[in-house]
């Protein structure tokens, strides 16, 4: 009797998991509030980095996909929970909490949280300058914990979307806004009235969240396509690098893996997202490796030391301006 019951449960589980063969058309949730990554249906020439990435994945597996627009990661996660989409993409950060609820692909981009201010604001040039001042952030950014660590006296204002935070900034209701550094860089390029502080608060890996009611093969095939897109053959530029280049974001191929806005590790550690405990200047926050180690470890330590020096120079320049 137990064997029969076990067999029935296995069969039910197999049938309830939507197989890869049944996913001929993938239903994908795209965030619309995080350009240049998110979906922009108004621009056929530049619909968004992640829209082009999903297009390339679908072509690789001879699949089609439909778009489900979502205003935030939280809304997308609710759709995954309700089994209304197969995938969610849009600056989705790899965190232990995310991986407890959903399956997640290998990272395809690494960045960190940055801070944007008005260029006309001559009072804020360093993290310390934001103490005692209002700072806007979206709930999924984990900015509350980071601001507590780095700017303990700042007044945190949680806003539903990054667009709301930018509006607060422009109305002078906030003096800084925390968001993905790569997205903020693009915003500054479009809007000369904004300025990006030369710091990163965290290291974040972007992944595609996959509905857990889909079979394991769905996740495996998405990862296989990502790997294929990052392969460099001879002098050819990897397909994923070409996508990022069209949106004026760097993507560099290194021996053993592809780096984008920091690095995409070919074999990332579980969890993915880390907070280093010290803010570093530049595009990403990198935890210092242990003493000794390989040549790569020593190069990373040297890079960290250079970043610390850059941060010191920025602080000195800011004090001189004041």
Tell me, yes or no, whether 36 and 154 share the same domain: no
Domain end (from 152, 169, 201)? 201
Tell me, yes or no, whether 94 and 60 share the same domain: yes
Tell me, yes or no, whether 166 and 47 share the same domain: no
Residue 36 lies in a domain: yes
Model pLDDT, residue 5: 40
Domain end (from 260, 285, 301)? 260
Residue 273 lies in a domain: no
How far is the C-alpha of 60 from the C-alpha of 228, rounded, in Å? 9
Residue 37 lies in a domain: yes
Contacts (Cβ under 8 Å, ≥6 apart) of 240: 53, 56, 108, 226, 229, 230, 251, 258, 260
Tell me, yes or no, whether 98 and 18 share the same domain: yes
Tell me, yes or no, whether 84 and 27 share the same domain: yes
Using DSSP, state whether 252 is helix, strand or coil: strand
Residue-wise pLDDT tens digits, 251-270: 544 333 434 444 333 333 33
Model pLDDT, residue 20: 76
Position 80 confidence tier, pLDDT thresholds 50, 70, 90: very high
Position 86 confidence tier, pLDDT thresholds 50, 70, 90: very high
Tell me, yes or no, whether 165 and 17 share the same domain: no
**Whether residue 179 has a cis bond before it, omega within 30° of 0:** no
Tell me, yes or no, whether 82 and 155 share the same domain: no
Residue 306 lies in a domain: no
Domain end (from 201, 219, 243)? 201
Tell me, yes or no, whether 210 and 194 share the same domain: no
The bridge status of strand 251-254 relative to strand 257-260 is antiparallel
CATH for 227: 3.40.190.10
Residue-wise pLDDT tens digits, 129-152: 999 999 999 887 677 778 888 888
For residue 272, pLDDT over 50 is answered with: no
Using DSSP, state whether 182 is helix, strand or coil: helix
Tell me, yes or no, whether 60 and 73 share the same domain: yes
C-beta atoms surrounding 62 within 10 Å: 7
Position 237 confidence tier, pLDDT thresholds 50, 70, 90: confident
Secondary structure (DSSP) of 114-169: EEEEETT--S-SSGGGGTTSEEEE-GGGTHHHHHHHH-TTSEEEE-SSHHHHHHHH
Residue 235: enclosing H or E segment and its boundaries? Answer: none
How far is the C-alpha of 185 from the C-alpha of 195, rounded, in Å? 9
Between 209 and 311, name the one with better pLDDT. 209
Contacts (Cβ under 8 Å, ≥6 apart) of 155: 132, 133, 134, 135
How far is the C-alpha of 272 from the C-alpha of 274, rounded, in Å? 7
Residue 314 lies in a domain: no
Residue 183 lies in a domain: yes
Tell me, yes or no, whether 85 and 231 share the same domain: yes
Residue 42 lies in a domain: yes
Secondary structure (DSSP) of 3-60: HHHHHHHHHHHHHHSBPTTT-SEEEEEEESSSTTTS--TT-SS---HHHHHHHHHHHH
Tell me, yes or no, whether 117 and 184 share the same domain: yes
For residue 235, pLDDT over 50 is answered with: yes
Domain total in the chain: 2
Secondary structure (DSSP) of 61-91: TT-EEEEEEESSHHHHHHHHHTT--SEEESS
Model pLDDT, residue 219: 93
Residue 321: enclosing H or E segment and its boundaries? Answer: helix 295-321
Q: Which two tokens stand for residue 1?
A: 């009797």
Domain boundaries, position 170: 113-201
For residue 111, pLDDT over 90 is answered with: no
For residue 173, pLDDT over 70 is answered with: yes
Tell me, yes or no, whether 52 and 197 share the same domain: no
Model pLDDT, residue 63: 93
Model pLDDT, residue 248: 76
Residue 295 lies in a domain: no
């Amino acid at each position: 009797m137990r064997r029969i019951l076990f067999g029935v449960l296995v069969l039910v589980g197999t049938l309830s998991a939507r197989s890869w063969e049944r996913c001929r058309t993938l239903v994908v949730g795209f965030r619309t509030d995080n350009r240049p990554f998110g979906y922009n249906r108004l621009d056929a020439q530049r619909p968004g980095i992640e829209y082009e990435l999903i297009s390339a994945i679908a072509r690789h597996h001879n699949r089609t996909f439909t778009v489900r627009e979502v205003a935030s990661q939280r809304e997308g996660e609710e759709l995954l929970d309700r089994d209304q989409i197969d995938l969610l993409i849009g600056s989705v950060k790899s965190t232990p909490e995310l991986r407890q609820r959903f399956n997640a692909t290998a990272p395809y981009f690494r960045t960190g949280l940055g801070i944007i201010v008005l260029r006309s604001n001559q009072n804020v040039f360093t993290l310390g300058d934001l103490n005692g001042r209002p700072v806007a952030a979206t709930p999924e950014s984990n900015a509350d914990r980071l601001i507590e660590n780095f700017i303990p006296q700042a007044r945190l204002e949680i806003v539903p979307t990054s667009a709301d935070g930018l509006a607060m900034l422009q109305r002078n209701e906030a003096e800084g806004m925390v968001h993905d550094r790569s997205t903020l860089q693009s915003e500054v390029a479009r809007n000369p009235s904004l300025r990006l502080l030369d710091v990163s608060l965290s290291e974040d890996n972007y992944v595609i969240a996959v509905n857990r009611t889909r079979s394991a093969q769905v996740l495996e095939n998405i990862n296989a396509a990502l790997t294929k897109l990052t392969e460099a053959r001879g002098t050819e530029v990897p397909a994923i690098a070409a996508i990022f280049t069209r949106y004026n974001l760097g993507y560099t191929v290194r021996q053993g893996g592809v780096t984008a806005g920091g690095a995409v590790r070919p074999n990332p550690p579980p969890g993915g997202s880390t907070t280093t405990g010290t803010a570093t200047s530049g595009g990403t926050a990198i935890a210092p490796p242990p003493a000794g180690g390989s040549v790569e470890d020593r190069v990373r330590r040297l890079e960290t030391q250079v970043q610390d020096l850059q941060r010191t120079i920025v602080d000195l320049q800011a004090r001189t301006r004041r």
